[in-house]
Structure 1
């Protein structure tokens, strides 16, 4: 789905899946705005090298923060949350909803981080240079596939717990994985 000058957010959201983060503005506009419709918890904590704002257009969700003085924000229709640069955050829908994310045109580094469900230690981190033309859910699916394929990445070095693989089919991301994921991994 290409960029448009104007769109109906709810009509367009009905056409996209979880965490599509569909860019909705022409590429010369700063900040950029991404549209997403979500009904499943985000499979990782997302991070950006710049500040972002998330607006809940419909439904409700909890935005979990990691490595932050604030643990979470509960959003209902009309609420916004500011996420400081470098703060890992995860969207957990309470009910299906439509969201907008506001990010700078030159976003820089972006990443996915997984934490141990038992002791909360960082399991795996993958970072990449944001590409304004890339399909976000294809990038996310590829990052998750890389996480799934490396049992060492899913094994906590603190307590030994092995994280479950991300269910790409449930997210609607089957077939979106590219053969060679961009980005560098750190554990």
Structure 2
């Protein structure tokens, strides 16, 4: 990362499209508003499938400003998908695993609690849909925890093996994701 690299900044007024050009990778979740604003808007420009299903302790909203795709939800009754396009507001219920699957590059704002809450990165079997592994955390900078969760999952055949059917998941591709760089900036 170079020192001259721009990134979205916390401001009182926000031009989402201008700030969106500054994002570094998919699912950056750069905080946009002043500390304490509730709900807190977080900006991402997503072009690859979300590496895992995100589970949060609080309800969230996902506002799509540009792009198309689907949001996949894992519920006790199975998998449900909802399509998104510009102007779509998707309700992400607490404790429900959800994953963004963009068909085209999507500029999205996630509205979430202003203070850190319980989150989990959940990985599901591609053969039988069983939960293969999850990592729970609470963090001021969740981007670092997201990165660490995927690196740990990728590095462990045991974590990638489904206990129900025995399928071993392929390592998750992190190209197009800049969580480590984002975390470094947010920690500074």
Q: Normalised by the shorter chain, which TM-score bucket?
A: 0.7 to 0.9
TM-score by length of 1: 0.86
Q: Conserved in 2, the CA contact under 8 Å of 1:51 and 1:82?
A: yes
Quote the Cα distance in structure 1 between the aligned partners of 2:41 and 2:84: 18
- Is residue 2:161 matched to residue 1:171? no
125 and 177 in structure 1: CA distance in 2 versus 1, 3 angstrom threshold: farther
Paired with 1:112 and 1:153, the residues of 2 have a C-alpha distance of: 12
Rate the CA distance shift 1:27–1:174 in 2: closer, same or farther, 3 A. closer
- Structure-2 residue corresponding to 1:38: 46
Match of 2:147 in 1: 141
Task: Please tell me whether the aligned partners of residues 139 and 177 of structure 1 are also in contact (alpha carbons under 8 angstroms).
Answer: no
Residues 1:160 and 2:166 aligned together: yes
Alignment of 1:176-187 (within 5 A): 176=181
Conserved 8 A contact 1:60-1:94: yes
Residue ranges of structure 1 left out of the alignment (5+ in a row):
179-187
- Whether the 8 Å contact between 2:12 and 2:33 is mirrored in structure 1 is yes
Q: Distance in 1 between matches of 2:42 and 2:137?
A: 18
1:49 aligns with 2:57: yes
* Distance in 2 separating the partners of 1:125 and 1:172: 19
CA RMSD of aligned residues (A): 2.0
Structure 2 length-normalised TM: 0.85
Structure 2 residue 42 is matched with structure 1 residue 14: no
